[in-house]
Amino acid sequence: MNTSNSTNEIIVKMVLNNWNTALSRVDAVFSELSNEELYKQIAPGKNRGIYILGHLTAIHDRMIPLLGPGKQHFPELFELFVTKGDNPSAEIPEPPTLRESWQIINQLVEQQIKKVKTNEWLEKHTAVSKEEFVKEPSRNKLNVIINRTVHLSYHLGQLALLKKKKQ
Amino acid sequence: MNTSNSTNEIIVKMVLNNWNTALSRVDAVFSELSNEELYKQIAPGKNRGIYILGHLTAIHDRMIPLLGPGKQHFPELFELFVTKGDNPSAEIPEPPTLRESWQIINQLVEQQIKKVKTNEWLEKHTAVSKEEFVKEPSRNKLNVIINRTVHLSYHLGQLALLKKKKQ
């Protein structure tokens, strides 16, 4: 292994560690919240926990095709939890269904991540053309992980408000 | 420039872009909030906006010595906004003072970041010993930025709740 590979390995490990930590923390909050608590708003008039559960599942579902050959698994969730905002009177899947979808997507994303070799992380993700990528080399697979880690953390800060302890 | 340097440059640029984006978004929310709005809690019984302003300033202040030779500028803020939780009856600096401290720290951190050369980002940060660093090479300067970007985003998700528009 040369120095360059070893450097890349450290960086990839570092980024994936941050992703896995954020994911575990969010997963722990969802596990801790009862189905009833999921229906609570994070603050008066703001998104409910269940909306954030659906939202994160839908956003992570979209990571599957970005990281390599693979398809979105629950495309219908994107419309409900990303395109549309939270609306307590809208019909959405029940907590047990969404909890299961969340786990399925977590597993599929993990499988996709494992397929990417160290030297492939700086290659373009699948939604960017070769021409665009020459101009913007940061639109690579590793940046997808960094960006989604930041997004996860944004919502973790909100989900923490549903927990009984002050955060 | 060899391939390895160019790879490192892309990665550093990518990480700093994510940091700068998160910082600008948080800064925009603080600018948008009036002094009065800063005293509101993000959710009933939770931290006030002003506590988060002090908290982020104190945490970023600690980045200064981590990234290279340099000192914490407002060490007293750490006690008030990190060691202690938010307590509406505690005496803390007024919004104009904290807003100014936040700007000063942002500038100092930016200066520290500019001093780090591309090939120095994977070197150990100053709070880790050489022995520990051999075992945990991810405790480097670049990881400080990734970690603080994730932390910023956590609180951005909460600060967004103080804005009038639904987030």
DSSP sequence for chain A: --HHHHHHHHHHHHHHHHHHHHHHHHHHHHHHS-HHHHTSBSSTTS-BHHHHHHHHHHHHHTHHHHHSS---S-HHHHIIIIIS---TTS----HHHHHHHHHHHHHHHHHHHHHS-GGGTTSBPTTS-HHHHHH-TT-BHHHHHHHHHHHHHHHHHHHGGGSSS--
**Per-residue tens of pLDDT for chain A, all 167 residues:** 345 667 888 999 999 999 999 999 999 999 999 999 999 999 999 999 999 999 999 999 999 999 999 999 999 999 999 999 999 999 999 999 999 999 999 999 999 999 999 989 999 998 899 999 999 999 999 999 999 999 999 999 999 999 875 44
How many angstroms away from the CA of B145 is the closest CA of chain A? 11
* Residues on A contacting B at a C-beta cutoff of 8 Å: 3-4, 7-8, 10-11, 13-15, 17-18, 22, 42-47, 85-86, 122, 137-138, 140, 142-143, 146-147, 149-151, 153-158, 160-161, 166-167
Write down the ipTM of this complex: 0.93
Subunit contact B11:A13, Cβ cutoff 8 A: no
Average pLDDT for chain B: 94
Q: What is the DSSP letter of B140?
A: B
Which residue among A43, A142, A156 sits closest to B154, beta carbon to beta carbon?
A156
Determine the pLDDT at residue B167: 43
How many angstroms away from the CA of A145 is the closest CA of chain B? 11
Which residue among B17, B138, B140 sits closest to A138, beta carbon to beta carbon?
B17
Check if the beta carbon of residue A49 is closer than 8 Å to that of residue A32: no
Max Cα-Cα span within chain A:
58
Average pLDDT over residues B35-51: 97
Average pLDDT for chain A: 94
